[in-house]
Structure 1
Amino acid sequence: MEIKIVHDEEYQQFTIEMGEDDAELAYSKPAPDTLDFTHTYVPESARGKGIANKLIEAGLCYAEENGLLIVATCPVVKKFISRNPDYQKLLK
């Protein structure tokens, strides 16, 4: 299955179309140089397949490429960063 991640800046989220229910990584911008990843959602039928990790990686890569720092309010994002120390340099 090919996974296409779409970044919607207006709604501040990264999404993957999953049929009726999309997977998403939502964020807010508490400061011009900061993204706060607030919420990760994957439909129950798609859980355990690495979908959340792909969304989180896309969000972190976007932050890094755009010189942004991140806050990991979402516990799933926080856990991902703790397991992937290369991204810890992005933490505010």
Structure 2
Amino acid sequence: MDEIDIVRLDRGNAGEYRAQVPDSDAVARLTWIVRGDGAAAVRVAEHTLVPRALEGRGIARRLVDALIEDARREGFRIEPQCSYVAAQFQRHPEWAALRA
């Protein structure tokens, strides 16, 4: 698999995970907003966007994996508004406790 660099950008009540590979200037993103406060806060996964130049490399899945890892580590739950994220939750019943 290609080397994929994923970073998380937090902007208050919104943010995104960004993925880039060494051979491309294209950037894939998974965007989210925060709904609620404190322990009841939920991250709404809004959109997963992978440019054509990056398709077929498993990047969207890696973006979702980063979101899941952070949810486990930080204790937030996820509302999968994005159809891709929702499909990944269907494929991974072990993530059920993280779903809002």
User: Same fold per TM (> 0.5)?
Assistant: yes
Q: Which letter does structure 2 place at the counterpart of 1:2?
A: E
Q: Normalised by the size of structure 1, how large is the TM-score?
A: 0.92
Structure 1 unaligned segments of length 5 or more: list them: none
Task: Give the AA of the match of 1:12.
Answer: G
TM-score (norm 2): 0.85
Aligned to 2:30: 25
Select the residue among 8, 14, 18 that pairs with 1:15. Answer: 18
Identity %: 26
Measured on the aligned residues, the alpha-carbon RMSD in Å equals 1.3
Give the drift of 1:16: 0.9
Unaligned runs of 5+ in 2: none
Between the aligned partners of 1:89 and 1:55, the Cα distance in structure 2 is 19
Please say which structure displays the higher CA radius of gyration: 2
Deviation of 1:17 (Å): 2.3
The superposition leaves residues 20-60 of structure 1 with CA deviations (integer Å, 9 ceiling, x where unpaired) of 32100000001132100000001112112210000001011
